[in-house]
């Protein structure tokens, strides 16, 4: 029984499923963020943020999301440690043959994203749940999360950091998407090239989508 849970393949399924789940979150998050560009009064964005922050279903689901992150990170770290242990003595000349080059750096991009996540949560989520976000002038009872975001995105250093992290996220996703299908056993020579292409498009759309927002705000 223990081998079921601890099997390398089971861990890979968990990684893949959690990853794909987190990808869907990134898409939702991105679409909300883009509202900031659509509506300069921040009304739409704040409303959406308010909805997300109060809707009971979302509120419950948010713990599933946290769980997803936790599992993805935990299992990722375990897998990585096992991988390092599998080759105690390194090569003098490193292997050079990866087909999916970015796959080499999943742990590195992953850690960068995790660090960002902590800062990100501190910047927004913690302020929100501790009630430190000012009220939105446009609508009574709604916090002005949009203002918080815009203030951050007016700081050059923060924008730079944000852009770099999101580039790494793009790299992470580029390998991750097709890799998830391979791990789940859904590789077929017929549609795998399509999945690889789709993964790259998703990585670029998500990466650029997020990056676009601070750049527009900063340079405006």
Partner 1 sequence: MDLKLKIWRQAGPDASGKFVEYPIQDISPESSFLEMLDILNEQLVAKGEDPVAFDHDCREGICGTCSLFINGRPHGPDTAITTCQLHMRRFKDGDTIVIEPWRAKPFPVIKDLMVDRIAFDEIIQAGGYVSINTGPMPDANVLPIPKKNADLAMDAASCIGCGACVATCKNASAMLFVSAKVSQFALLPQGKAEAKERVRKMVAKMDELGFGNCTNTYACEVECPKEISVTNIARMNREFFMAKIS
* Chain contacts with partner 1 (rule: CB under 8 A): 3-4, 6-13, 79, 82-83, 85-100, 103-104, 106, 175, 178-179, 181-189, 192
Residue 143 bridge partners (DSSP): 135
SS3 for 39? Answer: coil
Of 62 and 100, which has the nearer Cβ to partner 1? Answer: 100
Judged by CB, which is closer to partner 1: 10, or 55? 10
Q: Is 12 helix (H, G, I), strand (E, B) or coil?
A: helix
Residue 122 per-residue DSSP state:
I
Nearest approach in angstroms of CB 88 to partner 1 is 6
Sign of the dihedral defined by the CA atoms of residues 13, 15, 180, 83, in that order: negative
Cβ contact 202:39 at 8 Å: no
DSSP assignment string, 124-190: IIIHHHTT-SPBPTTSTT-B-HHHHHHHHTT-HHHHHHHHHHHHHHHHHHHHHHHHHHHHTT---TT
CB of 179 to partner 1, least distance (A): 4
Judged by CB, which is closer to partner 1: 131, or 189?
189
Closer Cβ to partner 1, 22 or 106, answer by number? 106
Tell me how far, at minimum, the Cβ of 38 lies from partner 1, in Å: 37
- Smallest distance, partner 1 to C-beta of residue 10, A: 7
Residue with Cβ nearer partner 1 (121 or 198): 198
Min dist CB 6 to partner 1, Å, is: 7
């Amino acid at each position: 029984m223990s081998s079921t849970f601890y099997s390398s393949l089971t861990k890979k399924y968990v990684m893949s499923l959690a990853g794909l789940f987190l990808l869907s979150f990134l898409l939702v998050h991105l679409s909300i963020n883009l509202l900031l560009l659509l509506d300069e009064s921040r009304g739409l964005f704040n409303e959406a943020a308010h909805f997300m922050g109060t809707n009971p279903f979302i509120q419950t689901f948010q713990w599933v999301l946290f769980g997803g992150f936790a599992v993805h990170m935990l299992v990722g770290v375990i897998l990585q440690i096992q991988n390092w242990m599998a080759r105690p003595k390194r090569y003098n000349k490193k292997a050079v043959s990866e087909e999916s080059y970015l796959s080499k750096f999943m742990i590195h991009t992953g850690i960068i994203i995790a660090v960002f996540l902590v800062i990100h949560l501190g910047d927004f989520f913690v302020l929100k749940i501790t009630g430190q976000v000012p009220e939105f002038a446009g609508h009574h009872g709604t916090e002005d999360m949009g203002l918080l975001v815009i203030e951050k995105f007016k700081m050059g250093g923060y924008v730079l950091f944000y852009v770099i992290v999101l580039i790494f996220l793009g790299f992470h996703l580029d390998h991750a998407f097709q890799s998830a299908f391979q791990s789940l056993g859904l590789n077929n020579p017929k549609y795998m090239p399509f999945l690889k292409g789709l993964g790259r498009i998703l990585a670029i759309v998500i990466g650029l989508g997020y990056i676009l927002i601070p750049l527009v705000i900063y340079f405006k």
